[in-house]
């Protein structure tokens, strides 16, 4: 049985922008991301985010960037924002690649859902996942997320989201009812 790592959760601070951007990029892009299972390296080149984009999120006041720390080391983060009066959007769920598979993502997602309820008064969370990421979609479904049937286009011509290596990408929308 795997022993859960004790994580400390807190809102991101401005001085962490560079470290958070590095964590997110390592979780999703490049060779380092292949140490974990959440990699998009075979689908997209480029970066997933930048320190300036992270700073904008932290300073916006409209979004909540949750960090997960283990013994003084940043090991995960997640973005939570208002989507509608009932729904909070959860995205950019990131865990350090060499520490994936240790249930950190599960703990991070559960904490993000608590933030959605307490900070945004949400009764549901929703997210988008690249449609070809079957293993990631299945992981979210095991956490209670349901495919809504909605699809959203991937911004193929916007390098802020990455440089596509494949010709067709789109997002599917997942949604979860939060327990009261």
Instruction: Give the side-chain half-sphere CA count within 13 A for 138.
Output: 6
Q: Which domains does the chain have, with CATH numbers?
A: 8-177 (3.40.630.30)
Angle between helices 51-60 and 17-28 (to 10 degrees): 120
Q: In the structure, what pLDDT confidence band is assigned to residue 160 with cuts at 50, 70 and 90?
A: confident
- Out of 12-21, 31-40, 95-104, 155-164, the most confident range is 12-21
DSSP category for residue 3: P
pLDDT of 42-101, one tens digit each? Answer: 999 999 999 999 999 999 988 999 999 999 999 999 999 999 999 999 999 999 999 888
pLDDT of 105-132, one tens digit each? Answer: 999 999 999 999 999 999 999 999 999 9
Average pLDDT over residues 26-44: 89
């Amino acid at each position: 049985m795997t022993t859960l790592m004790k994580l400390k959760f807190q809102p991101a601070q401005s001085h962490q922008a560079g470290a958070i951007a590095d964590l997110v990029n390592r979780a999703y892009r490049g060779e380092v991301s292949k140490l974990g299972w959440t990699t998009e390296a075979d689908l997209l080149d480029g970066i997933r985010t930048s320190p300036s984009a992270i700073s904008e999120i932290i300073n916006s006041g409209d979004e909540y960037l949750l960090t997960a720390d283990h013994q003084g080391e940043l090991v995960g983060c997640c973005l939570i924002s208002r989507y509608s009066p009932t729904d909070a959007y959860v995205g950019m769920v990131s865990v350090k690649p060499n520490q994936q598979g240790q249930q950190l993502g599960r703990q991070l997602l559960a904490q993000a859902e608590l933030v959605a309820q307490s900070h945004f008064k949400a009764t549901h969370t929703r997210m988008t996942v690249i449609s070809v990421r079957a293993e990631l979609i299945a992981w979210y479904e095991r956490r209670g997320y349901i495919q809504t049937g909605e699809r959203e286009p991937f911004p193929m011509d916007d390098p802020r989201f990455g440089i596509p290596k494949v010709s067709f990408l789109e997002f599917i929308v997942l949604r979860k009812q939060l327990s009261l």
